[in-house]
Structure 1
Amino acid sequence: MTEPSTLPEAEPSPAQAPAAAQVAASAAASPEPAAMPPSAELTKSAPVGLPGARWVWPVLVALVVALVAMAWWLNNRLYATQAEIAQRLQTATTDAIEAKTLTKQANDSVRDLTTRLAVLESRQQDFAAQRQALETLYADFAKTRDQARLSETGQLIALAQQQAQLIGNVQPLIATLQSADARLARSPNPKAQILRRAVQSDLTRLRSAVTPDIAAAAHKLNDLAALVDSLRLVSAAGPAHGASAPGTPPVAPASAAGPRWAPWLGDWFERFRASLVQLFGITRVGSRDALLASPQQGEFLRENLKLRILNARLDLLSRNAVAYRSDMRGIDEALKTYFDKRQPRMVQALSLARQAAQLDLSANPAANLESLAVLSTLDSGAP
């Protein structure tokens, strides 16, 4: 026997009520009602919807929203990555351009120094040629013994003057003038006595004159160049250890009548303040580019400073006062801008630069010698 269906029957609508009543009456009137098959009962029952059908559309909408959000996030992530890559490429290009510029400046400095060395060698050759010419003139010169002595004295004084102007030391010139004075003292010629008085006047002036010590200044520049490699850059400097924050009042000692936890709180505050002081540091710099210098740029800065010091040394030896002052100002500015002033070697470097810059190359007591002017007048035959 077939079991009846367990599906719930739908309630009849008001329009179907009379038809249902008639069916019931006819069923009751028939003596042997026939049993309807289960399939017919299921067909006549009202259609029932699936339990999860109402969640299909919300789930689809949620999936679409999730896909759109994921696509938007991936797009933003890709854009941020492209921007970061472009920024790094631009930074690398800028660093390469700066390195190329510094290399070009170094090459220009080396080329300039080579030119200056060539000029100095040329001057030395000129001096050697002049000396050879003077020796030739001395060999060919001869009218009288007194006239030859005067000419020889003038040549020696002129050579000593050139040497004093070249090396910046008047002691060889003073020795030459003393020798000329002793030689002229043995001559009875009136012209020799006139020249001797001029030589004595030059000796008095040179002995009392203050001459620049070029050798000492060159030694200071050599010491400064040797200190450059040991100086620490501002960009590599850390906060000063042991420094206390300005304006922080000292912690007062706990009184005997205070609570027991007061000393513990004071010690904790001191340790916290010391940690903050070690964590943060303030450094005064003259240029914002000094803090951004990379280690490679730091090497270029050191080499450029060494070339500047070498250039100043050449200006010192060639007695170029204007170029020497300009180079010393550049050296002082570079030291104060790119190097840490708190290190002890920096104090020594600044002191050496300051002492070397105080040299006055404009003072040249060997420039105008009265003895050479008198000798020129005597050679021309003027009274």
Structure 2
Amino acid sequence: MNNLNEVTHIDNVKLSEDGKKVIIIDQTKLPNVTEYLTLGSDKDIYDAIFELKVRGAPAIGICAGYGIYVLAQTIKAETFDEFYREFVKYKDYLNSSRPTAVNLSWALNRMEEVVTANKNKTIGEILKLLGDECRAIHEEDIKMCGAISEYGLSLIKDGDGILTHCNAGPLATSRYGTALGPLFLGKERGLNFRVFADETRPLLQGARLTSYELEKAGIDVTLICDNMASIVMKNGWIQACFVGCDRIAANGDAANKIGTSGVAILAKHYGIPFYVLGPTSTIDLNCKTGEDIEIELRDPEEIRNKFYKEPMALKEVKCYNPAFDVTDHNLISGIVTEKGICYAPFEKSIKALFV
């Protein structure tokens, strides 16, 4: 039986009751198996992020906040300098796991600021403050997702067809999600949408996660291959495109899962509004444009072998496997944040969010 509340309030990342471990749903096992992992070591947490067991920019940030808190508790030190030196080692190690999603470094930097701002306190007091901070990061994300969902819902109406790419629902965030949040919120209020989910090659986040979340919530979802987006747009079945984001530059260029920029180009051609939804924590004002965003390159075997019983290409064939691409701000109709919707010129509207 479909259960909207069960989907929107899933505990995909949380701290154990004793505060010593991070508990996550292993997203690589979905949709067929729901398995929780308990992470306690630096390698466990690093691997969970790198191997996409936890994924989605906000969820990565939440996991990183909890993770560095868990690791900080294992540090054996008598002085602040000793503690801080080990803390930074853990922080830098976790931060190296994935380069594109800004929430990873944002959360880790925020946790480090707690340490440096309280150097005159005891290590025990610092640990208490770190515990408070990582929990605050999670609670703030829940509130941000709710606000984003409200703003996003204002852009669509009952019966609309929505196309989405990759996964930006509760599994990738907390509670309602970002790009999928308006759809879940609308469902709660009696609205019905027809959602077309790109499968999102090569890791199939749209097939494995987005269609899973929407189907479980009782929302009309149709799974399509990535190269079918054009025909469903041409057929008149799409009234808006909603996608998440992993990093937004100061000019409005947005990095998201590979294939997103192609969807935006198609939407522009067919006159369909294309919206990027994400919290202000994904905005990186230090990145002037998308050219400044580092794009993660992943193992070519994800293209050649993953999800196949046998390789689908000869081992000698080269594979190019960028995890993300950057959508030019000129293709984006609006950027939906928890503080409101930004419209062009994005340099001004984004800057206004932080005044």
TM-score bracket, normalised by the shorter chain, equals under 0.3
TM-score (norm 2): 0.24
Comparing both structures, which one devotes a greater share of its residues to helix? Answer: 1
> Whose strand proportion is higher, 1 or 2?
2
TM-score by length of 1: 0.23
Larger RCO (CA under 8 A, 6+ residues apart): 1
Question: Which structure has the greater CA radius of gyration?
Answer: 1
